[in-house]
Amino acid sequence: MPDPGRVSSTRRYAGRIINVDVDTVRFPDGSTGELEMVRHPGASLIVPFLTDPWGADPQILLIRQYRYAAEGYVIECPAGRLEAGESPEACARRELLEEAGCTAEKLEHVYTFYTTPGFTDERIHAFMASGLSRGDARPEADEFVEALPTPLARALEMIQGGEIVDGKTAVTLLYVAGFTLGA
Q: How far apart are CA 45 and CA 42, in angstroms?
A: 10
The b/e string for 102-140 (b: 16+ C-beta within 10 A; e otherwise) is: bebeebeebbebebeeeebebbbbbbbbbebeeeebeee
Query: Would residue 36 show up in a list of annotated catalytic residues for this protein?
Result: no
Task: Say if CB 56 and CB 139 are below 8 A apart.
Answer: no
β-strand 19-26 against 5-14: which pairing, if any?
antiparallel
Phi-psi region of 121 (alpha: psi -120 to 50; beta: other; left: phi over 0): alpha
List the catalytic residue out of 89, 98, 108, 143. Answer: 143
Task: Say if CB 126 and CB 172 are below 8 A apart.
Answer: yes
Q: Which residues are catalytic?
A: 143
